[in-house]
Every structure is written in C-alpha cells, then in structure tokens.
Structure 1
Amino acid sequence: MTIRYPNGKRYEQKPLQKKTATQRKLSFSNRGMSLEDDINETNEYYRISQIAVIHKKPTPVQIVQVDYPKRSAAVIKEAYFKQASTTDYNGVYKGRYIDFEAKETRNKTSFPLQNFHEHQIEHMKAILQQNGIAFILIRFALTDEVFYLDAHYLISCYEAQESGRKSIPKTEIEKYGHLIQLGYQPRIDYLKMVEHLYFSTPTETPN
C-alpha cells in the first residue's frame, strides 16, 4: 500500500526489526515496550480508573485506490494523509483540556529540535492561549528515562533555532523538566506532574 503526505511525498514505513534473545529478556524497568505502548497502557488505566479520558489522535487518511481481489475483502493500494498531524494525544483531566506530544531518542546527551515541526509548535501555542495544558514526554531510550517538559519551555527552545540552536541538552531537560518514575499501574504516570503543576498548592510536591 502506498501512503502519501499532503504535499505528495511518499510515506516510507521503517521495517520492523526482530528482537534478539537478550532484548526479549529485558527487566521490568525496561520491558522493551515502545513509548507509545506505555502511554496507551497508561491512558487505559486512567480511563478505567475514571481519572481522565485521554486518547491517541487518529491520523486522517484519504483513500484513493482500492482493489477488490475478493467480494469479502478490500485491499487499499494508495492513500494520502489528509493533513499534517498536530500532536499525539489529547483529552480531559479535571475539566482541563490536555494535549501533548511523545518523542523518543537514542541520543544520550540531547534532544534534537528537528523532531518537531512548526505546525506542532503553533498548535501548542494555540492550546496555551486557550488555557489548555500542553507538554511533551521525552524518552531517552538508552537509559529508559521519561521526562515531562512543559510546552512553554519547548516553544522557547524551538524559536531559538533562529539563533543557531539545534537541540535541547539533556542537562536542561533535567533542570527545567520533570523525571517521571516508571511504575506498573500506571506505567508512565504523567498526570502526577500535571496535578503538581496545575492543581496542587505551591507547597505540595509529587511523590
């Protein structure tokens, strides 16, 4: 199947790599799940526990060519993304709109700003202007560390690219962001940080 972006460029999906025996024997602290899997699992826990309703945004696709090899089956041969995607997840928590992006890097010391697009930054700005809560979750894959970073700081870093900035050093993410302790249920409890930053009194700190 061929999928194309709104500008007509072909979407190339990276082939899945088989895990080695060593990778399959990962400890609990790094189970080999993708960041998306962990967040989806966390969001399901929030939903079932009636804590929040947050979902991954579907990507709108326009189908342009379909083959029907059988009456009971249809095969999509070509499709286009209808529009550029904004951020990965959105929903509601305690009456506040939540919107965030999740990114993963194998870089040890920094997070490249090229992983973000201008339309995503503009989208986050619009959320903040409407008193919504916007942030990003960044996973450093080699150390299995997940950080919560507020959209205000991301936006300031992104706009500094005009001055030659290319990335956010991990030391800055550690200083201005918040390390999320990985758990079991939920796996990545990012709402603990949202609660601390937006709903708690100034003297309260997350456990």
Structure 2
Amino acid sequence: MNFHYPNGKQYIPKKNVAEIGSKIKNGSFSNRGMTLEEDLNETNAFYLDREIAVIHKKPTPVQIVQVDYPRRSAAVIKEAYFKQASTTDYNGVYKGRYIDFEAKETQNATSFPLKNFHEHQIHHMQAVLAQKGICFVIIRFTAFEQVFLLEAKHLLSFWERMKSGGRKSITKIEIERIAYCIPLGFQPRIDYIKIIEQLYELS
C-alpha cells in the first residue's frame, strides 16, 4: 500500500524495531525493547487508567484513493494520501493545563539532527507556547536507551540557530545540559508527567 504526503511525496515508513532486531544480533540493538511510540502509548494508558492525565496520540487523517477488491468479502487499500501535514504526535490535558509534544528517536550517538522536524511543526509549537500551553519534545537516543524531555523553547532556539547558518543538529552534550533525563521505569515506562510537575509546579 502506498501512502503520500499532502505534497504528493511518497511516505516511506521506518523499519519496524522487530525487523531491525532480527537483522542486528550484536551491538546496541541486541537488547532493545519497544519503540518510543509504544512506550509512550503504554505510559499514557497508565496515566488515563489512574486518572492522572488524559494524553492521546493524534490521529492522522487519511484519504483513500485506490482500493482493490480481490474478493467480495475483502478490500485492499492500494494507495492513500495524508489529508494534511501533521503537527505534533501527542496532546491532552493535565491538571487543567494543555499539553502538546512531539516524540523522536535517533540512532545518532552524539547529536540529534534537526531535519527530524518540519517547519510546520515548529510553527505549531510556537503557536502552542503563545497560548501558554505546555509544549516539549521527548527524544530517545537508541544507542544508549536514554530518554530526554526538551522544552519547546529550547528546540526553537536551536532551530533559529540552524536557520541563521549554524549547525543542523543539537549535540548530545547540549541536550544533557538543558534537557531533563527521564529514567525508564516499569509502570509508567516513561514518566514524563513527573518532569512536568517539577517544571510548572503542578504537584
């Protein structure tokens, strides 16, 4: 099945972690667990079940343009387009505050490439901050299984640095200095709400 972005460019999905694990038996991926998205979805389910917060992954509207019917009882989608450019991955509410964030993973061990973001996502984050919403990015360095919460205001500064001719990535050292490390747990897996409580005094 072929998916396309609003500009017509074909969407190429990332390899499934299980596929990567089956091909790479040695090195940093040998003991890798779930993807960042799976960990966050599990965390959000934990928050919802215990009435801590209501955070959901945003659905992506899709327009189907070609369907094959090999049998009367079966339909196979052959081609579809994303109706609009996505903003960020997750949003919801916690203690009366609007929360909006993006989740990204990188295999780069020393920096986080800013090409992982799109201009419309940056504009969306700026708009959320202008409305006093809580906005941030959760970044996972897969080589170390380290997860960080980086406030959107810092991401915007690095973006502006790039637009002004500076480096096209955020070094891991910079992230370690200004972001907040989230220890991986069992339940919840990635307890980012604990960081939010500290930052905005919502406990």
When normalised by structure 2's length, the TM-score is 0.91
After TM superposition, list the pairs within 5 Å mapping 1:112-131 onto structure 2. Answer: 112-131=113-132
1:36 is matched with 37
1:8 maps to 2:8? yes
1:84 is matched with 85
1:75 Cα deviation from its structure 2 partner: 1.1
Structure 2, unaligned stretches of length 5 or more?
A: none
1:187 is matched with 189
After TM superposition, list the pairs within 5 Å mapping 1:130-141 onto structure 2. Answer: 130-141=131-142
| Alignment-mate amino acid for residue 192 of structure 1 | K
2:59 is matched with 58
Structure 1, unaligned stretches of length 5 or more?
A: 202-207
1:19 Cα deviation from its structure 2 partner: 2.6
Determine helix, strand or coil for the equivalent of 2:21. coil
The alpha-carbon distance between structure 1 residues 33 and 64, as it changes in their structure 2 partners (threshold 3 A), is: same
How many corresponding residue pairs? 197
Determine helix, strand or coil for the equivalent of 2:160. helix
1:12 Cα deviation from its structure 2 partner: 2.1
Q: Distance in 2 between matches of 1:48 and 1:186?
A: 11
Map Cα deviations across residues 35-83 of structure 1 (whole Å, 9 max, x no partner): 1111011000000010001011111110111122222221111111111
Map Cα deviations across residues 103-147 of structure 1 (whole Å, 9 max, x no partner): 111111111111111100000000011111000001010110000
After TM superposition, list the pairs within 5 Å mapping 1:170-185 onto structure 2. Answer: 170-185=172-187
Q: Distance in 1 between matches of 2:88 and 2:60?
A: 10
Q: Distance in 1 between matches of 2:5 and 2:48?
A: 32
1:97 Cα deviation from its structure 2 partner: 0.7
2:100 is matched with 99
Q: Distance in 1 between matches of 2:44 and 2:178?
A: 25
The alpha-carbon distance between structure 1 residues 94 and 112, as it changes in their structure 2 partners (threshold 3 A), is: same
Q: Distance in 1 between matches of 2:32 and 2:143?
A: 13
Q: Distance in 2 between matches of 1:79 and 1:69?
A: 18
Determine helix, strand or coil for the equivalent of 1:59. coil
Q: Distance in 2 between matches of 1:175 and 1:15?
A: 31
The alpha-carbon distance between structure 1 residues 175 and 14, as it changes in their structure 2 partners (threshold 3 A), is: closer
1:153 Cα deviation from its structure 2 partner: 0.3
2:72 is matched with 71
1:144 maps to 2:139? no
1:164 Cα deviation from its structure 2 partner: 2.2
Q: Distance in 2 between matches of 1:193 and 1:18?
A: 31
Q: Is the 8 A contact 2:99 2:134 kept in 1?
A: yes
**Percent identity between the two aligned chains:** 65
The alpha-carbon distance between structure 1 residues 200 and 90, as it changes in their structure 2 partners (threshold 3 A), is: closer
